[in-house]
Structures are given as C-alpha cells and as structure tokens.
Amino acid sequence: MAQDHRSILQALDEAPVSFFHMRAAVTAGMGFFTDAYDLFIIGMALVYLKPEWHLTAGQIGLLGSGSLLAAFLGALTLGRLADRIGRKAIYGLEAALMAVGALACAFAPNFTWLLLFRLILGFGIGGDYPMSAVLMAEYSNARQRGSLVSLVFGMQGLGLVFGPVVALTLQAAGLDHDIIWRIMLGLGALPPLAVLYLRRTMPESPRYKALVRGQSEAAAHDMSLYSEGQVQATGPVVRPRPMTLRAFLGDRRNQIMILGTAGAWFLLDYAFYGNVISTPQIIGLLAPHASPMQATAWALMIFAAAAVPGYLASIILMDRIGHRRLQMIGFAVMAISFGLIAIVPGMTHDVLPFLLLYGASFFFTEFGPNCTTFVIPAEVFPTGGRTTGHGIAAGIGKLGAFVGTFLFPYISHAGGLKGAMMFAAGVSVLGLLLTRFTLPETSGQSLEALSAETQEAHPADGGLAGSGASSM
C-alpha cells in the first residue's frame, strides 16, 4: 500500500466520508435518541404519576427538570475528564449511566427514588454531549464536519417522534396506568444498551493522540480505519499540547468562545426544553377538554411534521449555509414565531393557526440553533481543552433547560400562554445577538485553524471573536 506523506491532521481534514464515519455517527447518535426520548416521555409519564402519587407542583417541576440539572454536572465533569484521561476512557461510561438510570426509573417505588434515578440518567446524558460531539468532530473532515456532527445530533429528532408513538401505543393498549408510565421510562434504557459495546470499541481520536498525548505513530495507525492509504507520523504541527484547566480558562479567546457557545446554548435550551417538555401543558391550555391520547397525537404531529424535517435540513445544508449563519437564522425565526403567537389576537385560542406557528418555531429551532449550538463548541476550542469547552457549553445549556422547564409553568400561570411565548421571543433575540457578536464562522475550516493551534488560523468575521483569534 502506498505511503501517504500528508500530515495526520491534513489527512483527517481531507479523508472522504466512509462507513467508519456512519458507524461512528450512529453509535454516538443513540445517546441523543435517548436524550430526546426521555425529554418527551417524562411529560407523558407525569400525566399518570400525578394522580397516582398525588404529586405537588414542586415535585412535578423537579421530576421534569431534575435530570437537566444533573446533566449540567455530567457535562462539566465528564467533559473535563475526557481531556485529562482520554476520549476513549470516558466513551461508553456515560451510555452505561443512561441505561442504568432509565432502567431504574421503571422500578422506582416512590417520588424520592424516581428523582434519584432521573438524576443518574441526567448525569449520563450530560456527559454524552461533549463526548459524542467532540469525537465525531475530531474524526471528521473539514468540509463535511458540520453535517457529520449534525447527523449525530439529528438522532434526537427520531427520539422526539418515538416518544409520542410509545405513549399512544401504550394508551391504546388499555394497560394499567402504573404499568404504562413504568414501561415509558424503562424503554429509555434500550438505545444506550444497544451501542454500549460499539462505544467501547471505537478508536481514540487521532487528533487527541497526536496533539495532546504526542502519540503520532499510534494516531497514524488509527487513521487507517477511515483514510485511504497510510499516513506518515511526521509533520511540524503534530506535537503534544496538554492543557491545564487554569490555562484553558485563563485564555482570553477561550473566554470569549465560552461566552458565545455557552450563552447561546443556555438561551436556546431555555426556549426549546421549556416548550418541548411542556408541550402537553401547552396543548392543555389550548384545548382543555382534549384527552391524553388527543394531546399526544397533536404533539406527535408537531414533532413529525416540523422537528424531524428541521433536523434533516440541518444535516444537508449546514455546511453550505455556514454554522454561525444558520444559528443566527434559526434564532431570528424563533423570535418571530414566538412573538406572533404572543401578539396576534386569538392566536392562543385557535388550535390550527397556533400549531402552524408553533411548528415553524420547531422547524427553525432544529434547523438552526438546536443543532449548531451542539456543533460549534466542538470546533472552536483547542484539542487539549475541547471536551472541557464543549462540556462547559453543554452544561450551561442544560442549566438553561432546567430553568426553562422549571419556570415555564409559573410564567404561563402568571402571564398565560401569550406571556410565556413573548418571553421565549425575547430570549431568542438575545441568542441572535450573542451569536453575532462573539462567535466566528466555522464552516469549512480545520479544527486546528479555528482553535488557533496552527498558523493557518482565520480571524473571525466580525464581532469580538476576531480580537482573540491569535491569542494562544
């Protein structure tokens, strides 16, 4: 086999998409299928749990949002550990936590135990964000990186659809309510269990091996899994660059990237999770006499008609439009949709017009910032702090999801559905502005150039990010 004299990093940036990439995307994507499934299904499970366990409003809020708070801790903790001891050492651990947490939820005897098991589940989900995003980004070539990382996150769309399907099937079966909610929650263990072995057998990131560990020969060997020919373990850019937490957080450019990625993700997740988890409550406000099956069917229609096409559009078009630009477009349309729902007379009382606008907000959420806030943090940080940076962004995002989920019932109670939608519109405007003034365009550039690890770094096109592009 002919020897290829390109550097390891150049070979990674130019490697064509192969079966290995598809396998890696599906293996990583099962975590996000689980995330979305559990995101929706807890709302439906609470319909049955509330009367059975006589839950208070505070208990309902904790069960709906507690796992998100745990995800905040999981993303921070496991994200940092992956930079310290390796991606492969952590990959699979978070999937095991998700499986154990979901399965244990099915056997919870009371509120306290169910809350504890939801926290374990959430910790695993949080850790899955930096691991799956960064590994897929570091495996990918420069030209199609956005699409490949979006493909991982796009599995969330299937999870959003699968949740209502499970709920409708169990409701139609006429099972006892205590059995229904236990099956709903327990099924969340199947996706991570299905890929646990595959995760443990995935190779370590060649970028991490070469740039952080200094294991250039081993990294070149791993490249043979998905790159044509062999790669020579030489090149001036390949040298070990471990990074302490103090050095990472003390760098001005990293600080700006954390502000941009974590801030945008916080604002996005406030609007997204608050609305998705509360979809049954929203439909209840629109149609108070609808049965649980009718409410679930409407939620399924929204997810299938709006959310899934949004994910597909993001996978196909992200690298063509630009990652930062797409995030700005999504935030803008979200703000318009939520704002129209809030200010147009009668909108919150007419089901069909409301669902059309609500569906539009879903489409552009998935098409834009719900995918891009996952992709961009995997691109803008240096290799030695990449999962740390992504973990901080994801953790702050989950904190926004916690706030949105916990506060939505109170905001909708105080200001009605119109008040909740207007607040979400304002949050979306803030997300647009933060993206515009802090983040660079990342599409098509190598990870090392974006993170200023090589001399090929391109300054950000406008905003604050450009001022720190070469500060490392």
Most trustworthy range by pLDDT among 20-34, 112-126, 192-206, 215-229: 112-126
The secondary structure of residue 453, as a DSSP letter, is -
Whole-angstrom distance, CA of residue 127 vs CA of residue 44: 25
Buried b (16+ CB within 10 A) or exposed e, 136-167: bbbbbbbebbbbbbbbbbbbbbbbbbbbbebb
Could you tell me where the beta strands, DSSP code E, fall in 71-175?
Answer: none
Do the beta carbons of residue 308 and residue 300 sit within 8 Å? no
Per-residue pLDDT, averaged over 193-212, amounts to: 87
* Burial category of 2 from C-beta neighbours within 10 Å (exposed 0-12, middle 13-18, buried 19 and up): exposed
Taking alpha carbons only, the member of 129, 121, 163 closest to residue 149 is 129
- Cβ partners under 8 Å of residue 65, min gap 6: 277, 401, 402, 405, 406
Does pLDDT of 56 surpass 80? yes
Per-residue pLDDT, averaged over 111-121, amounts to: 95
Whole-angstrom distance, CA of residue 191 vs CA of residue 335: 34
More confident residue, 208 or 7: 208
Mean pLDDT is lowest, of 36-45, 272-281, 285-294, 313-322, for 272-281
What confidence score (pLDDT) does residue 76 get?
Answer: 96
What confidence score (pLDDT) does residue 412 get?
Answer: 62
What confidence score (pLDDT) does residue 465 get?
Answer: 43
What confidence score (pLDDT) does residue 126 get?
Answer: 93
Per-residue pLDDT, averaged over 144-161, amounts to: 90
Percentage of the chain beyond pLDDT 70 is 83
Per-residue pLDDT, averaged over 35-63, amounts to: 85
More confident residue, 290 or 255: 255
pLDDT band at 285 (very low <50, low <70, confident <90, very high): low
Does pLDDT of 272 surpass 80? no
Supply the mean pLDDT for the chain: 83
What confidence score (pLDDT) does residue 43 get?
Answer: 80
Does pLDDT of 134 surpass 90? yes
Do the beta carbons of residue 253 and residue 468 sit within 8 Å? yes
The total domain count for the chain is 1
What confidence tens digit (pLDDT) does each residue in 380-395 have?
A: 999 999 999 999 999 9
Does pLDDT of 354 surpass 60? yes
**Count of alpha carbons within 13 Å of 322, Cβ hemisphere only?**
12
Show the domain range for 157. 3-468
Per-residue pLDDT, averaged over 297-316, amounts to: 83
Does pLDDT of 2 surpass 70? no
**Count of alpha carbons within 13 Å of 272, Cβ hemisphere only?**
32
In the 3-class helix/strand/coil scheme, how is 196-228 assigned residue by residue? HHHHHHCCCCHHHHHHHHCCHHHHHHHHCCCCC
Q: Write the CATH number for 149.
A: 1.20.1250.20
What confidence score (pLDDT) does residue 286 get?
Answer: 60
pLDDT band at 458 (very low <50, low <70, confident <90, very high): very low
First vs last Cα of the chain: how many Å apart? 39
What confidence score (pLDDT) does residue 273 get?
Answer: 67
What confidence score (pLDDT) does residue 384 get?
Answer: 92
Mean pLDDT is lowest, of 195-209, 224-238, 271-285, 366-380, for 224-238
Taking alpha carbons only, the member of 117, 133, 127 closest to residue 45 is 117
Q: How many CB atoms lie within 10 A of CB 437?
A: 14
* Burial category of 197 from C-beta neighbours within 10 Å (exposed 0-12, middle 13-18, buried 19 and up): exposed
What confidence score (pLDDT) does residue 108 get?
Answer: 95
What confidence score (pLDDT) does residue 41 get?
Answer: 85
Whole-angstrom distance, CA of residue 415 vs CA of residue 181: 31
The secondary structure of residue 3, as a DSSP letter, is E
Does pLDDT of 433 surpass 80? yes
